[in-house]
Every structure is written in structure tokens, then in C-alpha cells.
Amino acid sequence: MPSEAYVIHVGVLESNLSGSGFEGLQIIKELDCRVTFFTRDLDRYLEVPGGPAYFDDYVDEIVHCETNILEELLPHVHAAGADHPFDAFLTLAEYDVVVAAEVAVLLGLPTVSVNGVAVARNKALMRRRCAEVGVPMPAFRTVRTPAEAESAAAEIGLPCVVKPADETSSADVRLVETAAQAGEHVRLIRTRVENTRGQSRYHELMVEEYLSGPEVSVEVLADGDRYEVFGVTDKSVGGLGYFVELGHTFPSSLPGPTVRACGELAVDALRGVGFDLGMAHVEIKVTGSGPKLIEINPRPAGGKITYLVDRALGIRSLELVTRQYLGQPLPARVLPEHPVGGTAIRYLTAQPGRVESISGQERAAALPGVEEVVLKPKPGDEIRELRRNGDRAGHVLVVAETAQLAARTAEAAAKEISIRTVPVTRRPVADSLVELIGGTPLLRLPVDRIVDGAPADTSVLAKLELFNPWSSSKDRAALSMLRGAEERGLLGPVGGTVIEATSGNTGISLAALAAARGYRCVIVLPDNATQERVAILGSLGAEVVATPHAGGYQAAVDKAEEIHRETPGSWFCRQHDNPDNARAHYESTGPEIWADTDGLIDVFVCGVGTGGTLSGAGRYLRERNPSVRLVAVEPAGSPLLSGGEPGTHCIPGFNGGFIAPTTDQELIDEVIAVSDSDALDTTRRLALHAGLMVGVSAGAVVHASGVVAGRPEYRGKRVVTLLPDTGERYLSLLGRAAEQVTAGAADSGGAR
């Protein structure tokens, strides 16, 4: 880090992750300023290519703190400025403009109007304010619910645009073709109670008229009532209705009168909202009836637009802004009489899938005027469907004598680059059912319709293990334990016998695998096991041995042990103390959850029978992110993890009157005990309101997930749970009133 002997002290509150963000840090530092950077998440900057170098070279001090809440940020600001008071305080990110302005006001420093940026940031307020002063814009409605969105779409006309009021970079912006799609997109947005930067969402969402015509942006520098229009940038968008920006060219090729009209509209809009200091990026559609306002971004243009404008004009706009915030007056003339050149950027895209090869970079870089060729993916990486700016695969940037030449060269350079992908799919033909174990999907649950009191914007994702070949998560554990036995020579290649004490899913999975491998299978179970499970075991060729249910699970274990001793070449699975049980979930379930959520998981809610799923998947998730909260779910009738006594319950799959050695209790952050009635009721609601036929233990974990997601501290957090199996093998249980079972009985599910 540079030394601390700088007189001018600038505080920077967060930054965007490219373009004007990192370049802004460099420019501030080059003005001989001491830079203190405030952030709540430094890792996201350091993960960007080149990010660590920017912070090493251009930041003197990094302060880790809460940056979204003024009251929590201020003590850190005062501490950082105690020895060297701040001469300027600003942000290089749109999400933080309001808080940064509030801090500057409290420090007595030059800044933009707090009310001005607050209105500009909130698209609903911005629309209303600009409508009051007569700024041309599309028809719009503000909505709060899916039903309101459907009505608004019908009023405005289709297609129309649905978007949040508090995002940027095209996040969650969608062109919809029907009123039903409008309602569904609002429902999706409402499940995310925080925006991309972890800030509480605005209550209103936008439904807007879709305008045809070229889209442009106008870059404007405000200084009190003085507004300098730097120019108009041509823009191209794609992404099948998601408005992803794919190209920019500066200056615009539109006719002079149209360019001037766009500039005048941008200034009128900024005056209307009260934006009065620094750079603003105003997006406009040029329609048949003239320019119309799309959005105001109260900050310098993101991505590379600021760089394009600066190179074409021969200026450093971020230096001008920094000097404004330091209280220095703008020069009488900030722009050259004519542009010194033209610039263009074209973003690279590829078909969704896994990258197989990339070629053509060298040819693209060799074209005259090409300054940058940047590729984000590498072979083996997966490219997502193009839905937001972050899904782009890279870019080429060109500086030339004219904008037209720059645009042609950028198009040619982009065409030189080939990113070949292959679809990411399951094998169309499997050689055995074993190959189909795992890879189960996540489903977003409408928890507010299933669990009383759960808010409508709750985000609960459920991993559906019924998609395994034998319809349960125990397929994973059974295969892992069976392979472990084979690897250790406990089962011979032919003629071996698999023995287990269980009445549930583990027995079914073992019976199926044994049949496929040519093993004999003996399943010992209490005589009160449900008729569906007994029938399934028999159909898979397993020999079923019944023990008196009064003896509970221990009686079944004792009988299985006896059969094992008397049967040469047999293997007794003992799932409750078999380490291969948890290993299955560490090696498959946990990684699948992490990959399918892109690592965005805050809470994992998991039922505990043997504890294999919680211990294996939970350990993997905790290793990837130590802050993931692990919540164990157990029966209220036998709350052993909560420190209670064994008792009766009717939740198959949960504890059989003891805590299994395979349960890693050190991982557990919280235990939720669910009553039989809540588990059964939620199971029935899952069928009635989500079309999901799942077991009673799934009902229990969904109930617990709804309880967790409904707590204020978990608003905006992502909760993931796992639904262990299908409900078809529990129809006889679901069809009758809840019956109590003795703790330790296999029908209580602990040995499942």
C-alpha cells in the first residue's frame, strides 16, 4: 500500500466492478489523494480480474463495515477521518449514492443533493417527478402485487416492460408478452427482498410501456444549475427480452437535431429530479414522436462507456467529478470544440453451455485501432443464458478516427472471436440406473401458500430427491455404502448377501441395488411398517423379516445382527454408524446445492434421521462458506437434539429414539422441533397447493423452512431445504389420522 503522507483525504464508499469504478480509484489517487475505501464485501472486488492490483496501487486504507445503513457506517467514517479529516466523500457505485451523499452532508463536504439522488435512484419516484414537470416518457404504472401487475399490463398494452424500482445494469428487467407473464415476473422479483447489493427492496415495482426505436444514453455533468452534455452514445441490446447491452458507440450517428433533443431531454430530467453535482447517465429511447426518458442513473456510466467518452473527447470526466467533490470550480470550458476521434465497444456472447474452445483473440487484437480484447470464460467454464450484463462473455474495444470506423472495426473484431460451447445436459441414454442417482433439481416453493405466516416474498428452494431412480435421497447413501463394502471386500463379486434393519427408503434403495448387482437382500423391519413399503421391498426381490413392533428399532437391529452372524458372505449395512452414509452427501448433495445456487445460500434446513444428509451436505456447504447457517429439524415428540427425552411421533425418516453416530452435532446452529400435526398438514398442503407428493418428513422440513424464512432477520436470505422422498409410499399414513408410534420403532423412521 502507498504511504499515508497525503494531505488530501478522499473517502470512497463502494464502487462498481468495472470501468468507471476501478478507473475512478486510479484517477483519485493520481490527484495525490489519500484514499480510504469503505466496503461491506471486499471479496467481490478482489475476485474481478485486476481487482487486487487496483486496491494495492490506488487504495491506502480499506474499512470493512456495514455500508448500506447510515447509522452503522458513520462511526467508521469518523474513526477513519479522526487523524486526517476527509476533504471529499463520494461513491463510485449507483447503489450507494444516497448514503454517500448523506455522509458528505454530515461532514460538511460538497456533494450532490441527497433528495436528488434519492429520487433518481427510485424509478417510481423518478417517473412521478419527471411526469410532474412534463418530461416525455413511456406510460407507466407502479405495482406491488402480481395481480396489480396483470391489471397494469392490460391497461398499458402488450408487450410491456416489468422491472424493479431499485436495480441497475438491466437486473430483473423483462419484456413480457402477456399479462400473466407480468404477474409471474413480479412474483419472481418479490421473492428477492434485497437487491443485488443486499439493500432492502423498494415496495413498488414498475410496469412500463414498451417503446420501439433506437436506444441511446446521454452523459451529463451537473454543477449546480449548469449542465454540460458530453454527448450521446449509441447502444444495441439483446438477450431475448432482457435488455442486455451488447454494444456502444460514441459519439452517436443519429442526426444532429435528434442528438440535441436527446441532450435537452436529459437535462430537463436531471433538473426535474434535482440532480445537481457530478456525472449522470441518462437512458433514452428515440421514438417516432421524439426522444423519451427511460432511466436516470445518478452516477458516471458503468462498464466502459465513461472510457469511450473520455477517449473520444480527450478529457478525464472522473477527474472533473473528483475536483467538484473537492470543492474546486469547473473550468469555463470543459469540452473540446470537436471530438478528437470515435470509440466503440462490442460485447461477446455465446450459446449457453460448457465452453469447449475459444479462438480468434489474436486476429481480433491485430485489427487497427483495437485496444482491448477481454474474455471472461475459459475452456470448461459454463456460460449462462443471456439475461443480464454480467452474463456477457467479454468485449472488444476500439479507438479510431471516427465513430463509424470504430463501430465497423469493433464488429469485425467481435466476429473474429469464436466461443464454442456444448450443451450441459444429462446423458440421453444411461447404461444403468446407478448413473441417474443424484443431479436432482431445485424448486422454488410458494411457501406463503403452504406455511401459515410465511411472507409472500420468501425465497425457499427445495431439492427434490424424488427424482432419484428409487425416489429418495437414500439412493445416494445406499450406493455409497454398498460401494464402500465392495471396495473393502465385505461383499463378494457374486453371491453376497446385503442385510439391513430398516423399513423405509434405505431398505428400498439397498434392495434395488442388490437386485441390479445380483446380491441377495434381507430387510428386517417391525411388523407395523406401512403396506406400501413392504410391497415395494417384495417387488424388488428382498426377503422381508418382521419383528414385533413393541421391540422398536433395537429389536430389528438385533434380528439383523443374528441373521448376519448366521449368513456367510453377508454384509450388515448399519447405516446409523456407517461413515459412507455422510460421505455420499458430502460428495454429491452438498456440491449440487452449491453449484445450482451459484453459492448463494444463507440457510440449509435439513431433517435428521441418521444425520447423514445434514452431516455430509452441511459440512460441504460450511467449508465453502463458513457463514451458511445449518438448521436441523426433528420431531417435537422425540426432541433429542434439543436435549429432550425419546418419545412418540409419526414422522417417518426422523429419529428412532436415539441420536445416530453419523450425526455431526457440532455442525448444527439451530434445532427446530416440528409437531406431527404440522408435519402432516404441511405434507398435505404441498400436494394441494404445489402439486408435490412427498413424504411426511418433507412436510416437516418445509414447515421449518417457512418458520425460518418468516423471521425478520432472514428476510432477503435464501433458504434451501431437501425433500427426501416421494409421498406414494406413505398414502396409507396420510389417509388416516396421525398415529403415535413408540420411540425406537422403525415406523418412526429413524432407521430409514
Rounded to 5°, angle at Cα 502 from 464 and 546 = 140
Q: Name 568's Cβ contacts closer than 8 Å, sequence gap at least 6.
A: none
Is residue 705 part of the annotated active site? The answer reads no
Q: How confident is the model at residue 744 (pLDDT cuts 50, 70, 90)?
A: very low
Q: CA dist 745 to 510, 640, 741, 750, Å?
A: 20, 15, 7, 8
Q: CA dist 172 to 42, 190, 195, 456, Å?
A: 24, 11, 10, 18
Task: Locate the DSSP E strands across 573-664.
Answer: 603-607, 629-635
Residue type, 548: P
8-111: which CATH architecture?
Answer: 3-Layer(aba) Sandwich (3.40)
Asked whether the predicted pLDDT for residue 29 surpasses 50, the reply is yes
> What is residue 731's predicted lDDT score, i.e. its pLDDT?
84
Asked whether the predicted pLDDT for residue 276 surpasses 80, the reply is yes
**306, 23 contact by CB (below 8 A):** yes
Asked whether the predicted pLDDT for residue 502 surpasses 90, the reply is no
Asked whether the predicted pLDDT for residue 722 surpasses 70, the reply is yes
**536, 514 contact by CB (below 8 A):** no
Residue with the three cell numbers 413408540: 742
> What is residue 408's predicted lDDT score, i.e. its pLDDT?
98
> What is residue 594's predicted lDDT score, i.e. its pLDDT?
94
Q: What is the mean pLDDT of residues 35-54?
A: 90
Compute the half-sphere exposure of residue 384: CA atoms within 13 Å on the CB side of its CA. 12
> What is residue 477's predicted lDDT score, i.e. its pLDDT?
97
- Cα–Cα distance between 88 and 10 in angstroms, integer? 5
> What is residue 457's predicted lDDT score, i.e. its pLDDT?
77
- Between 104 and 647, the more confident residue is 104
> What is residue 528's predicted lDDT score, i.e. its pLDDT?
78
Residue with the three cell numbers 425406537: 744
> What is residue 745's predicted lDDT score, i.e. its pLDDT?
31
- First-residue to last-residue Cα distance in the chain: 58
Fold of the 475-483+490-572 domain: Rossmann fold (3.40.50)
User: What three-state secondary structure class fits 192?
Assistant: coil
Q: CA dist 208 to 157, 295, 393, Å?
A: 9, 11, 29
- Cα–Cα distance between 387 and 654 in angstroms, integer? 41
Residue with the three cell numbers 431412480: 469
C-alpha torsion 187→191→193→194, nearest 10: -110
Asked whether the predicted pLDDT for residue 551 surpasses 90, the reply is no
Superfamily of domain covering 129-134+212-242+250-337: ATP-grasp fold, B domain (3.30.470.20)
Mean pLDDT, the chain, as a whole number?
91
Q: How confident is the model at residue 751 (pLDDT cuts 50, 70, 90)?
A: very low
Beta strands 205-209; 140-143: pairing state: antiparallel
Asked whether the predicted pLDDT for residue 550 surpasses 50, the reply is yes
Task: Provide CATH code, domain 139-210.
Answer: 3.30.1490.20
**54, 27 contact by CB (below 8 A):** no
Q: How confident is the model at residue 378 (pLDDT cuts 50, 70, 90)?
A: very high
Asked whether the predicted pLDDT for residue 741 surpasses 60, the reply is no
DSSP string, 646-681: ------TTS-SSS--TT--GGG-SEEEEE-HHHHHH
> What is residue 195's predicted lDDT score, i.e. its pLDDT?
78
- Annotated active-site residue in 20, 252, 317, 697: 697
Asked whether the predicted pLDDT for residue 480 surpasses 60, the reply is yes
Question: Domain 341-423 is in which class?
Answer: alpha beta
Asked whether the predicted pLDDT for residue 736 surpasses 70, the reply is no
> What is residue 426's predicted lDDT score, i.e. its pLDDT?
58
| Whether the domain at 139-210 and the domain at 436-468+580-748 fall into the same CATH topology | no
- Cα–Cα distance between 98 and 115 in angstroms, integer? 8
Q: Report pLDDT digits (tens) over 611-637.
A: 999 999 999 999 999 999 999 999 999
> What is residue 737's predicted lDDT score, i.e. its pLDDT?
44
| The three three-digit cell numbers of residue 534, written as one number | 413392504
Q: Report pLDDT digits (tens) over 182-216.
A: 998 998 888 777 777 778 888 899 999 999 999 99
**126, 120 contact by CB (below 8 A):** yes
Sheet holding 603-607, edge to edge: 442-444, 459-464, 718-723, 603-607, 629-635, 670-674
Alpha helices for 439-550 (secondary structure H):
474-487, 505-517, 531-539
Angle of helix 676-690 versus helix 696-709 axis, rounded to 10: 90
Q: pLDDT > 90: what percent of the chain?
A: 75
Task: Provide CATH code, domain 436-468+580-748.
Answer: 3.40.50.1100
Asked whether the predicted pLDDT for residue 748 surpasses 70, the reply is no
- Cα–Cα distance between 524 and 271 in angstroms, integer? 79
Q: Report pLDDT digits (tens) over 49-108.
A: 788 998 999 999 999 999 999 999 999 999 999 999 999 999 999 999 999 999 999 999
**120, 296 contact by CB (below 8 A):** yes
> What is residue 232's predicted lDDT score, i.e. its pLDDT?
98
**476, 584 contact by CB (below 8 A):** yes
Q: What is the mean pLDDT of residues 6-13?
A: 90
DSSP string, 55-97: HHHH-SEEEES--S-HHHHHHHHHHHTSSS--SEEEEESGGGH
Q: Which of 246-255, 287-296, 382-391 has the lowest mean pLDDT?
A: 382-391
Is residue 697 part of the annotated active site? The answer reads yes
Q: How confident is the model at residue 694 (pLDDT cuts 50, 70, 90)?
A: very high
- Cα–Cα distance between 559 and 277 in angstroms, integer? 81
> What is residue 135's predicted lDDT score, i.e. its pLDDT?
98
Asked whether the predicted pLDDT for residue 359 surpasses 90, the reply is yes
Q: Name 141's Cβ contacts closer than 8 Å, sequence gap at least 6.
A: 148, 152, 155, 156, 206, 207, 208
Q: Report pLDDT digits (tens) over 587-606.
A: 999 999 999 998 999 999 99
Asked whether the predicted pLDDT for residue 220 surpasses 50, the reply is yes
Q: pLDDT > 70: what percent of the chain?
A: 95
Asked whether the predicted pLDDT for residue 25 surpasses 90, the reply is yes
> What is residue 210's predicted lDDT score, i.e. its pLDDT?
96
- Between 51 and 371, the more confident residue is 371
> What is residue 208's predicted lDDT score, i.e. its pLDDT?
98
- Annotated active-site residue in 29, 292, 304, 474: 474
Q: Where are the domains of the chain?
A: 8-111, 129-134+212-242+250-337, 139-210, 341-423, 436-468+580-748, 475-483+490-572
Q: CA dist 743 to 320, 366, 557, 646, 651, Å?
A: 74, 75, 14, 6, 11
